[in-house]
Amino acid sequence: MTVATNTSEPQERTLAGREVAAIGLGCMNLSWAYGTPPEHEVKVRLLNEALDLGYDHLDTANIYGFGKNEELLADAVMHRRGEFLLASKTGIIVDGARRGIDCSPAAIAESLDASLARLKTDHIDLFYMHRFDPKVPIADSVGAMARAIEAGKIGAYGVSEWSALHIREAHAVHPMAAVQTEMSLWTRNVELGVLETTRELGIALVAFSPVARGALGGELKDPQALGEKDLRRSHPRFNEDNWPKNLALIEEFDALAAEGGLEPAQLALAWVLAQGEHVHAIPGTTSIEHMRENFAGGSVAVSSDVLAKASGLINQQTVSGHRYPEVMRNTIDTEDYPA
């Protein structure tokens, strides 16, 4: 039985006032976090081939590679600036002993100017507060974003990993364009409030790690083989206690995808996009082949029964381990499930 069909044209959805492909490109791991990044020429080729293919939403942040990721985009694709929506972020501080979250108006303004300089552009289409800063009144932080919009430095603002309550408070001060948060078959925190809140308020929901940090990508079988600096080595779901249980689920998921003629990542992405017409996904990869496969995930129609089977197989109740190590949980404002 055929359960997936190619729709030929990628789905388009509204983000920051423009229509873009529902599948965007998360650029983080081209510079940071998931093992050793590829050679520079491979990064440049991947980014340009992504634009050629139809990606028109590129997502970066000041913290990715401590500015290196923004510099990469400047070098690789800023000569094609008009072809894509550019998103970046501010708020996380890692500067020697100065570490934490700072979304004060002064910090936002300083960080924005630094990002614009690294990106070699005069505007960022969508600028996120990367984390919630409880030390700063929301009206003050949002006010800084509104002034940046008025100055033409950014087109719209968003927030990342914020709770539904704080999203509503910020949106009341100045309408926000997007909420970025982790969302995948095995991370469902958005179902505790953020998914419905964004739908109700007409805010785009941008899902990062929609392929479960590579776990649903069809290739990761042994996290212990990951590089020592790979961020996933510190995440509970990939440790020696939890991974065998999760791998058993993943193998069933891979079989379900194969039965429908899909790559596992494509089924994972199709499930994310099916959670709402306002939902976008930004999978990241260092592989040109996977980049192409991921984009095709926005051009397939998967039957509701297959999506339901995938959802029943891998979800918040069946997965083993928390999505973040303890030290990172304290920086997350998004609603969480009980331990």
For the segment 203-257, what is each residue's pLDDT rounded down to a tens digit? 999 999 999 999 999 999 999 999 888 999 999 999 999 999 999 999 999 999 9
- Domain-embedded: residue 181: yes
- Domain-embedded: residue 266: no
- Domain-embedded: residue 138: yes
pLDDT digits (tens, 9 = 90+) for 198-217: 999 999 999 999 999 999 99
Q: How far apart are CA 105 and CA 5, in angstroms?
A: 48
- Residue 95's pLDDT is 73
pLDDT digits (tens, 9 = 90+) for 41-79: 999 999 999 999 999 999 999 999 999 999 999 999 999
What single-letter amino acid sits at 111? S
- Domain-embedded: residue 323: no
If one counts the domains in the chain, the total is 1
- Domain-embedded: residue 258: no
CATH number of the domain at 79, please: 3.20.20.100
Q: Is the pLDDT of residue 3 over 50?
A: no
Per DSSP, the three-state class of 130 is coil
Any idea of the CA torsion for 225, 228, 234, 236, to the nearest 10 degrees?
Answer: 10
pLDDT digits (tens, 9 = 90+) for 114-162: 999 999 999 999 999 999 999 999 999 999 999 999 999 999 999 999 9
The dihedral region occupied by 85, where left means phi > 0, alpha psi between -120 and 50, and beta the remainder, is beta
- Domain-embedded: residue 317: no
- Domain-embedded: residue 113: yes
Neighbours of 194 (CB within 10 A): 23
- Domain-embedded: residue 105: yes
Say whether 337 is catalytic.
no
Catalytic choice (64, 128, 157, 324): 64
Range of the domain at 106: 18-221+272-299
